[in-house]
Amino acid sequence: MPQAQARAVLPVVLLGCGGVGRHLLRHIVSCRPLHANQGVAIRVVGVADSSSLLVADDVRASGLDDALLNDLCSAKSAGSPLSSLLARGHCQVFNKPEAMGKVIDAATMLGRTTGLVIVDCSATYDTVGVLKDAVDHGCCVVLANKKPLTCAYEDFKKLTSHFRQIRFESTVCTSY
């Protein structure tokens, strides 16, 4: 059966590749046929952990391939750093603090044109600055944890001021 042409491409940057983030990546990969039948292509262009960011060479044109995403999940489950995946090619690794600047670069490049979704699966306040900047650049933000919303009131107001661009209705829980 021929695959449906994607009518919508959603570039995604994932912040946090612990248990919840890895489950999300595996789910995205395993649901490719369903997405294709609905005319949607989810293109993971970057994945960040607490110390670095793995990003596709050209976030405008391509994402991280499914084999690399599966290897990333395996590597992170084993405690390996994102840099261990560099030999796979077609990607770059940036360490903190440069990593979050690269997320903002992607937000600036894609936010108001093709769109970019920042999915925060971390459980930290460290992402609040990046999330505020992403919203300013027209990106959509999805939170899997309420922690970023328990920040200073001014930051909360900034994050929620673009209500159509942020989703935060629930907290995700996984079992191991």
Which CATH number fits the domain that encloses residue 53?
Answer: 3.40.50.720
Evaluate whether residue 3 is within a structural domain.
no
Evaluate whether residue 1 is within a structural domain.
no
Evaluate whether residue 2 is within a structural domain.
no
Yes or no: say if 70 and 29 are a contact pair by the CB < 8 Å rule: yes
Distance CA 94, CA 55 (A): 8
Evaluate whether residue 61 is within a structural domain.
yes
Evaluate whether residue 174 is within a structural domain.
no
- Measured from the Cβ of residue 142, the count of other Cβ atoms closer than 10 Å reads 17
Return the pLDDT at 15: 96
Return the pLDDT at 171: 52
Structural domain range at position 66: 8-167
- Measured from the Cβ of residue 56, the count of other Cβ atoms closer than 10 Å reads 23
Return the pLDDT at 175: 46
Return the pLDDT at 163: 60
Averaged over successive runs of 10 residues, the pLDDT of the chain (176 residues) comes to 70 95 97 93 95 93 95 96 88 91 90 88 89 88 82 81 66 50
- Length of the chain counted residue by residue: 176
Give me the number of domains the chain comprises.
Answer: 1
Return the pLDDT at 78: 96
**Region for residue 13 given its phi and psi (left: phi exceeds 0; alpha: psi -120 to 50; beta: otherwise):** beta
Evaluate whether residue 79 is within a structural domain.
yes
Return the pLDDT at 148: 80
Evaluate whether residue 60 is within a structural domain.
yes
